[in-house]
Amino acid sequence: MSQNNLNDIVYNIIGACMEVHKTLGPGYPTDYYKKALEVEFDSKKLKYENKKQYQITYKDVLVGNLEVDFLIEDEVVVMVICKDQFLDTEIQQVLRCLQLTDNSMGLLVNFGGTKIQYKRIVPSHKRVSDKTIKRYPLEHGRGKTRENNPII
């Protein structure tokens, strides 16, 4: 998928999130926002899967399932939270989802505050094969994302 098309999808997702937050405001359970987002995604004609499950294996043994809130257009992983602020563990979880799904962008959306918060999350590595992940070495002055998150 081209970068422009991916940016258009993310732009529409963020617009849907802003509309939901503007209409509902803060203070509701996460499930209410997820249901409202489904309505917005339908109105924007975005193709999505909700509660998409991925298997987590360790040495070829199934150890659990990871649930992604939304997979939009088979490209963007969206995770929804309702908290005061983002935690590094939530950002790491989205990064793991991207690694697992082989998608190129994630979006972490927080409906918990008076203003909506969102972070675009892009992995800092490229998948070389199914088993090998190439990690880029940290150089002086690097090692943080634009949002000051650690690169893993």
Show me where the domains of the chain are located. 3-135
Q: Are the C-beta atoms of residues 70 and 49 closer than 8 Å to each other?
A: yes
Residue with tokens 């989802």: 97
Average pLDDT, whole number, for the chain?
85
Q: Which CATH class is domain 3-135?
A: alpha beta
Tens-place pLDDT, residues 34-65? 999 999 999 999 999 999 888 888 999 999 99
Q: Are the C-beta atoms of residues 80 and 34 closer than 8 Å to each other?
A: yes
Closest by Cα among 86, 87, 88, 68 to 78: 68
Neighbours of 105 (CB within 10 A): 22
